[in-house]
Amino acid sequence: MKTTPSIIHFVQKLLIFTVAIQLIGCKSTSGIDFNNIKVSDAEATNSTKLLYHNIQKISKEGIAFGHQDATAYGIGWKHEEKPNRLRSDIKFVAGELPAVHGYDIGHIELGKSHNLDTVSFDLMRDHIQKLYDKGAIITMSWHLDNPVSNGSSWDQTPAVPAILEGGAEREKYELWVQRLSSFLNSLKDKKGRVIPVVFRPYHEMNGSWFWWGGNNVSPEDYKQLWKETQQLLKQNNVHSLLYAYSPNIVGSEEEFQKYYPGDEFVDILGVDIYNYGGNEAFSKNIKSNLEIVRKKANMADKPFALTETGNTNFGEDPNWWTKTFYPGLKDSGAAWVLLWRNARPSHYFATYPGEISEEDFKEFAKLEEILFLDEVEDITN
């Protein structure tokens, strides 16, 4: 038959074409093989895997600077007053936006329009979209209410067993995670893809100030809560998260490990450290704790970060950044640091115009190792 060779030829070409398309499908234009990037959610989107890849890349170049609620408000201003601009205390002082932007989604579970610190979720979404578009990394903590007492995160009524599978408040918890899921899936980039987020739930669990930590929970229940929450999010079609585990300052590797749900459920390791014990101890603590976290992270081949920090001695130390903070941080290998929020003059953790450490912050910001938004964008693009 005359037609046979051309049919075979056609089928061969079709096969080659199909294979090629499949190969292109798992690689980005920059040649990243997404099949080789493994994160805790096996169904994580490519954007999520790319975020993971970028975080690892950043950690080899320096330490990205982050700030909680950076563009939502600062000392003496609120975004709503000039809604057309993306302002930030850090930008006012150093001329650059932070590379990492932290948000708290506490009260999303209640179906409220604003979080526990009066940041509207619509504003949050809008800023996340704008900042992600500029190359920022988004991270979220969750100061959720106590599901048993309906008090705040700081209400220590034991509640974890009640929201685990089969518990008395399980239905309520599923609804709460449902609301959280809807918000996360509503964060869309310019191409309509869901924006990936570093999710840091149930943080500082080795302290007893939250209902999910310390004396208020057993390590086994904590781990179970972590896994079940992850499961619920996945069931709700949330595949845009990297999961970060971050205890408060630890005294040993064992303490770091105590509530750790396991390598397969965590993507990023972290620790929260403030200078409540004075600056000298703080410098040393950052160094020793990041060393512990680094060791664990290296063993598990995961990135790590100083997931919350800040100067709690408001207005006292003009050289805090270069003389206290940086010496502890230097060469730590952390991917980022997140300074806590600038709420008011008696509750701020970074700096702002007119603040006592303003000039020192400018010096800190000039350090090669410390990366702001534009620098991070250069690394990841």
Query: Please, are residues 287 and 297 in contact by the beta-carbon 8 Å criterion?
Result: no
**Quick one: tokens of 330?**
């230097």
Task: Name the maximum alpha-carbon separation found in the chain.
Answer: 92
Among 117, 126, 189, 255, binds ligand BMA (CB under 6 A): 117
Backbone dihedral angles phi then psi of residue 179, each to the nearest 5 degrees: -65, -40
Count of residues that interact with ligand BMA, criterion CB under 6 A: 7
Shortest Cβ 374–ligand BMA spacing (Å): 27
Shortest Cβ 178–ligand BMA spacing (Å): 22
Shortest Cβ 262–ligand BMA spacing (Å): 27
DSSP string across 189-256: -TTSPBPPEEEE-S-STTSSSSTTSGGGS-HHHHHHHHHHHHHHHHHTT---EEEEE--BS-SSHHHH
Shortest Cβ 360–ligand BMA spacing (Å): 23
SS3 (DSSP) at 370: strand
Which residue number, 52 or 176, has a Cβ lying nearer to ligand BMA? Answer: 176
Shortest Cβ 145–ligand BMA spacing (Å): 12
Among 32, 37, 86, 116, binds ligand BMA (CB under 6 A): 116
Shortest Cβ 117–ligand BMA spacing (Å): 5
Query: Please, are residues 136 and 100 in contact by the beta-carbon 8 Å criterion?
Result: yes
Among candidates 371, 278, 279, which has minimal Cα distance to 325?
A: 279
Which residue number, 117 or 359, has a Cβ lying nearer to ligand BMA? Answer: 117
Query: Please, are residues 83 and 273 in contact by the beta-carbon 8 Å criterion?
Result: no
Which residue number, 72 or 163, has a Cβ lying nearer to ligand BMA? Answer: 72
Which residue number, 144 or 329, has a Cβ lying nearer to ligand BMA? Answer: 144
Which residue number, 48 or 309, has a Cβ lying nearer to ligand BMA? Answer: 309
Shortest Cβ 203–ligand BMA spacing (Å): 10
Shortest Cβ 183–ligand BMA spacing (Å): 16
By the rule CB under 6 A, 104 interacts with ligand BMA:
yes
CA dihedral 229, 46, 52, 263 (to 10 degrees): 40
Instruction: Return the DSSP state at 257.
Output: H
Tell me the sheet residues that pair with 309. Answer: 273, 339
* Parallel/antiparallel/unpaired status of strands 77-78 and 73-74: antiparallel
**Quick one: tokens of 140?**
């979220």
Query: Please, are residues 306 and 334 in contact by the beta-carbon 8 Å criterion?
Result: yes
* Contact code string over 322-351 relative to ligand BMA, x by CB under 6 A: ------------------xx-x--------
Which residue number, 62 or 201, has a Cβ lying nearer to ligand BMA? Answer: 201
* Contact code string over 61-100 relative to ligand BMA, x by CB under 6 A: ----------------------------------------
Which residue number, 104 or 228, has a Cβ lying nearer to ligand BMA? Answer: 104
**Quick one: tokens of 100?**
């990492």
Shortest Cβ 28–ligand BMA spacing (Å): 35
Instruction: Return the DSSP state at 321.
Output: I
Which residue number, 336 or 340, has a Cβ lying nearer to ligand BMA? Answer: 340
Question: Using alpha carbons only, what angle is made at residue 132 by residues 308 and 139, rounded to the nearest 5 degrees?
Answer: 20
Among candidates 219, 215, 110, 223, which has minimal Cα distance to 172?
A: 110
* Contact code string over 139-158 relative to ligand BMA, x by CB under 6 A: ----x---------------
**Quick one: tokens of 110?**
């209640």
Q: Tell me how far apart the alpha carbons of residues 250 and 43 are, in angstroms, rounded to a whole number.
A: 32
Which residue number, 343 or 356, has a Cβ lying nearer to ligand BMA? Answer: 343
**Quick one: tokens of 191?**
């191409």
Among candidates 218, 217, 281, 222, which has minimal Cα distance to 249?
A: 281
Which residue number, 32 or 116, has a Cβ lying nearer to ligand BMA? Answer: 116
By the rule CB under 6 A, 109 interacts with ligand BMA:
no
Q: Which residues bind ligand BMA (CB under 6 A)?
A: 104, 116-117, 143, 340-341, 343
